[in-house]
Amino acid sequence: MTTYLACMGTRPEIIKMASLHRVLKARGDRIQVLHTGQHEAMAHVLYRFFDMGPDLQIQLQRSSPRLGNLTADLLDNVDRIVSETRPDVVLVQGDTSSALAGAMAGYYNDRPVAHIEAGLRTGEREPFPEEKNRELIGRLAHWHFPPTEQSRDNLLREGVPQQQVHLVGNTVIDTALWVREHMNGDAVAALPLPVCRFLAEHAASRLLLVTAHRRENWGEPIRRIAAAVGELLLRHPDLIVVWPIHPNPAVRTDVEASFAGLPADSRARACLTEPLDYPGLITVLARCHFTLTDSGGIQEEASALGRPVLIARDSTERQELVQAGGARLVGTDTGRIVQAADELLNDPVRYRAMQLTTSPFGDGHSAERIADILAQPA
């Protein structure tokens, strides 16, 4: 029996680790979930939904908002737990501060590290600090599990030994498809009551799902995104918007202020809500006409559900979706967003061209491939 320590602390990590946790547990391995506390409020709902514990938890001091302070606090605590538990393998996902701390703690304690969703790169400073986090993790990991050929090639170009790089697809596709299958007729029950009522009242309308959470989009960029969404509501009377707002009060204030000047009938077609839990998010994503997002995970999940994506960033480490035609980079410029959205709303041919029938990120069996590889002698 192999023992695993899965280090995670943010919503995307939990979602993307869920399928691997399920597969390893079903195979009889021992997997302990370490919750780092990087995201607290939204994490435990997901742990309960996916039946993932957590088995171990860290209480962060949060004495300073500085990233260096957060990383030092995480590393000190994760290092202690890895030293005490001595797992056979440390699992980390993606590019968060929690993932970096997990990889460093595994390396310092001579525990092999498996990096899920390895090799994503923009080649630029942004996204900050994720771009450098994942590069650093790539220097510390023993197993590298890139989701796509492009991410695999990035690792090989950086000198990672070929025998340590395993193309497996993205576990988020496994999770999204599993949630959609297991929700069945309970999809509406996954949503908060105000969102349920809103969608029921506008059942015949086309839905735009908007999410914007990245640090680099706070402030003026989020105001430009909100202005674009407001303009779309004015131009398209059959359009409705669901926008789960980031918990940061400044983000909510900016979005609400942008919408306050809209006519009442346009404002009534926008539902600004708290962050949705994962089943609710998948429900809205499956219902939407297209999505405007700066989220990497939603780019992947939308591709699995055949929904076009407008990416509110100037670059993406998920170029495969852009190259496949399922997404378009629009940044945060109001005019660019409106123009791209108008095309999807006015041109059925353009819309169908962005509706993918297969995802470039996987087929729903990524976790099984990872488990098979980890079961082999290192």
For 316-344, write each residue's pLDDT tens digit.
Answer: 889 999 999 999 999 999 999 999 999 99
Q: What is the pLDDT of residues 186-209, one digit of tens each?
A: 656 678 899 999 999 999 999 999
What CA–CA distance (Å, rounded) separates 18 from 163? 26
Domain ranges of the chain: 3-170+363-374, 178-353
Q: Give the pLDDT score at 252.
A: 86
The pLDDT value recorded for residue 62 is 73
Distances (CA, A) of 259 to 192, 221, 225, 241, 244: 21, 15, 11, 12, 14
pLDDT of residue 307: 98
- Higher-confidence residue: 265 or 42? 265
Known active-site residue 213: yes
- pLDDT of residue 375 exceeding 80, the answer is yes
117: annotated active-site residue: yes
Query: Among the residues of the chain, which ranges form H helices?
Result: 11-26, 43-50, 67-85, 97-108, 130-140, 149-157, 171-183, 193-201, 220-235, 249-260, 264-267, 278-287, 296-304, 319-324, 334-346, 348-353, 366-374
Report CA-CA distances (Å) from 69 to 66, 156, 165: 5, 32, 32
Q: What per-residue confidence (pLDDT) applies to 42? A: 78
* Among 63, 48, 50, 170, residue whose Cα is nearest residue 115: 170
Arithmetic mean of pLDDT, 260-282: 93
Please give the pLDDT value at position 189: 64
Give the pLDDT score at 40.
Answer: 79
CA distance 6 to 215: 26
Asked if pLDDT for residue 232 goes beyond 60, the answer is: yes
Q: How far is CA 158 from CA 104, 108, 128, 138, 373, in A?
A: 19, 22, 20, 9, 22
On the question of pLDDT at 63 being above 80, the answer is: no
Helices (H), 118-237: 130-140, 149-157, 171-183, 193-201, 220-235
Which range among 105-114, 119-128, 210-219 shows the weakest confidence by mean pLDDT?
Answer: 210-219
Q: Which of 30, 142, 206, 215 is catalytic?
A: 215
Judge whether residue 27 has pLDDT over 70: yes
Task: Tell me: pLDDT of 32 over 80.
Answer: yes
Q: Which residues pair with 290 in a beta bridge?
A: 208
Which tokens sit at 300?
A: 């992947």
CB atoms within 10 A of CB 51: 10
**What is the pLDDT at residue 187?**
59
Residue 377's CB is within 10 A of a number of other CB atoms, namely 3
| CATH homologous superfamily, domain 3-170+363-374 | Glycogen Phosphorylase B; (3.40.50.2000)
215 is catalytic: yes
Residue 238 pLDDT > 90, yes or no?
A: yes
Amino acid at 133: N
Query: What is the pLDDT, as a whole number, of residue 188?
Result: 62
- Burial letters 239-277, b for 16+ CB under 10 A, else e: bbbbbbbbeeeebbebbeebbeebeeebeebbbbbebbb
Catalytic residue among 117, 231, 277, 317: 117
Under the banding of pLDDT at 50, 70 and 90, the label for residue 215 is confident
Residue 130 is a catalytic residue: yes
Name the active-site residue from 22, 214, 223, 246: 246
Architecture of domain 178-353: 3-Layer(aba) Sandwich (3.40)
Q: In the prediction, which pLDDT does 355 show?
A: 96
pLDDT digits (tens, 9 = 90+) for 273-303: 998 989 999 999 999 999 999 998 999 999 9
Q: Tell me, what's the pLDDT at 184? A: 62
Compute CA 154 distance to the chain's CA centroid, rounded to the nearest angstrom: 20
Say yes or no to pLDDT of 185 above 60.
no
Mean pLDDT of the chain: 93
What is the value of pTM for the model shown?
Answer: 0.88
- Section 167-175 average pLDDT: 97
| pLDDT tens track for 38-51 | 877 778 889 999 99
Q: Which of 88, 307, 273, 296 is nearest to 193 (CA)?
A: 273
- Rounded to an integer, the average pLDDT of 132-143 is 98
pLDDT at 186: 61
Q: What is the mean pLDDT of residues 24-34?
A: 97
- Active-site residue (options: 11, 22, 202, 213): 213
Per the residue annotation, which of 13, 73, 130, 301 is the catalytic one?
A: 130
pLDDT score recorded for residue 343: 98
Identical fold between 3-170+363-374 and 178-353: yes
Catalytic residue among 73, 95, 131, 174: 95
